[in-house]
């Protein structure tokens, strides 16, 4: 696909976003920069941008094939992908199968506790507020999404969890939890946007329980690059 990369629209913690010659398309450029705890911890994870670009595209393509609409258009380099332009719904949608991270802390559940059923959480995307957790009432009262959009987002999130969990299990990866974001296209459709990568998911080795995700960076567990490469290797064979 021939679109020209134009001016930078936005630079986030892990990605840069560029306008293109097509007003409906953007180019995302993944960086190696890593942050945690709302930007308090900063570092670099060598080749993270490449892994996240390729892993996210691979998983989104798989999800598309199973009927989940995503922003993915085309990977154009190791770090760059053409995506559909959307307005991001300002919610972090979190799905959990096993207790870990902030859920363990908040509810006093040891990490690794299997939840009796899937947990769906929403956080309001606002760095200044530290992305506070909100429920359906807050979302509707603040008009962050319409009731129809919220229903669709919830249905997609749970379907994505089922598809991803099953798929990753074949690569001996247990999907503990993950965060996704959705966007609205110019014609009002809700599609999966942002990324699905070791930055945004907890991946544990199914047999050893070894952490293969950003928690290695957050918690100074070492071999961060190795864990990211391992995920890319298991999924894409690279
Ligand atoms: P927790 O709430 O336990 O910190 O995170 C739950 C899941 O969502 C984890 O897989 C975590 O990686 C992801 N997650 C939650 N908030 C963020 C965020 O602001 N940035 C990223 N990259 N992942 C997040």
Q: How far apart are CA 111 and CA 211, in angstroms?
A: 12
Give the residue-averaged pLDDT of 213-225: 98
Report CA(7)–ligand 1 centroid distance (Å).
Answer: 29
Cα angle 66, 161, 24 (rounded to 5 degrees) comes to 55
In 99-174, which residue ranges form alpha helices assigned H by DSSP? 101-107, 136-141, 147-170
Give the HSE-up count for residue 141: Cα atoms under 13 Å, Cβ half-sphere: 6
Last residue of a domain, one of 53, 84, 115: 84
Based on the fold, state whether residues 52 and 105 are members of the same structural domain: no
Give the range of the structural domain holding residue 157, as residue numbers without chain letter.
Answer: 87-225
What pLDDT score does 221 carry?
98
Which atom of ligand 1 is found nearest the CA of 215? 12
Whether residue 238 lies inside any domain: the answer is no
- Residue 200 is predicted with a pLDDT of 98
| Ligand 1 atom nearest to 202, measured from its CA | 10
Nearest atom within ligand 1 for CA of residue 123: 16
Distance 94 CA to ligand 1 centre (A): 7
Pocket of ligand 1 (CB under 6 A): 92, 94, 100-103, 131, 177-179, 199-202, 214
Please provide the size of the chain in residues: 238
Contacts of 180 (CB under 8 A, 6+ apart): 92, 93, 95, 157, 160, 192, 194, 196, 200
Residues 115 and 185 in one domain: yes
In this model, does residue 1 exceed pLDDT 80?
no
On whether both 80 and 95 belong to a single domain, the answer is no
Domain end: 84, 109, 134, which one? 84
Per-residue pLDDT averaged across 195-209, rounded? Answer: 98
- Residue 123 and residue 75 share a domain: no
Residue 28: closest CA among 69, 88, 93, 68: 88
The verdict on 68 and 91 lying in the same domain is no
Last residue of a domain, one of 84, 116, 147: 84
Classify the C-alpha dihedral 152-154-155-157 as positive or negative.
positive
26 and 75, same domain (yes or no): yes
Q: Which residue owns the Cα nearest ligand 1 atom 7?
A: 178
Candidates 196, 163, 166, 199; CA nearest to 55 is: 196
Ligand 1 atom closest to the CA of 94, numbered from 1 = 8
Same-domain check for residues 57 and 175: no
Degrees, nearest 5: CA angle 17-20-25: 80
Give 92 Cα–ligand 1 centroid separation in angstroms: 8
pLDDT tens digits along 89-115 = 999 999 999 999 999 999 999 999 999
Instruction: Look at residue 33 in the predicted model and tell me its pLDDT.
Output: 98
- The preferred substitution site among 200, 216, 217 for testing ligand 1, maximizing ligand atoms within 8 Å of CB, is 200
Structure confidence by residue, pLDDT tens digits, 26-79: 999 999 999 999 999 999 999 999 999 999 999 999 999 999 999 999 999 999
pTM of the model: 0.97
Please tell me the total count of domains within the chain.
2
For residue 64 the two structure tokens come to 């598309």
pLDDT of 132-183, one tens digit each?
A: 999 999 999 999 999 999 999 999 999 999 999 999 999 999 999 999 999 9
Asked if residue 174 and residue 97 are part of one domain, the reply reads: yes
Residue 34 sits in the same domain as residue 108: no
Q: What is the DSSP letter of 95?
A: E
Residue 2 has a pLDDT of 82
Q: Counting atoms of ligand 1 from 1, which one is nearest the CA of 177?
A: 10
- Selection from 234, 179, 223 nearest residue 201 by Cα: 179
Q: Residue 108: how many CB atoms within 10 A of its CB?
A: 9
Residue nearest to ligand 1 atom 24, measured at CA: 200
């Amino acid at each position: 696909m021939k679109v020209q990369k134009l001016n930078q629209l936005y630079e986030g913690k892990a990605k840069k976003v560029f306008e293109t010659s097509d007003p409906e398309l953007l180019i995302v450029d993944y960086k190696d920069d890593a942050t945690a705890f709302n930007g308090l911890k900063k570092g670099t994870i060598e080749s993270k941008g490449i892994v996240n670009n390729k892993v996210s595209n691979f998983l989104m393509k798989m999800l598309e094939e199973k009927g989940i609409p995503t922003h993915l258009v085309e990977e154009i380099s190791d770090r760059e992908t053409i995506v559909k332009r959307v307005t991001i719904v300002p919610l972090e949608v979190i799905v959990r199968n096993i207790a870990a991270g902030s859920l363990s802390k908040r509810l006093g559940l040891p990490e690794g506790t299997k939840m009796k059923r899937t947990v769906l959480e929403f956080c309001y995307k606002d760095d200044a507020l530290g992305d506070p957790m909100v429920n359906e009432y807050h979302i509707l009262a603040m008009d962050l999404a319409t009731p129809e959009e919220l229903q669709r987002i919830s249905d997609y999130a749970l379907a994505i969890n089922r598809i991803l969990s099953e798929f990753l299990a074949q690569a001996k990866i247990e999907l503990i939890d993950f965060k996704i974001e959705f966007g609205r296209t110019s014609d009002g459709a809700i599609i999966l946007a942002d990324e699905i990568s070791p930055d945004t998911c907890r991946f544990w080795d199914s047999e050893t329980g070894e952490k293969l995700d950003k928690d290695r960076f957050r918690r100074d567990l070492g071999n961060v690059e190795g864990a990211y490469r391992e995920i890319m290797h298991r999924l894409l064979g690279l």
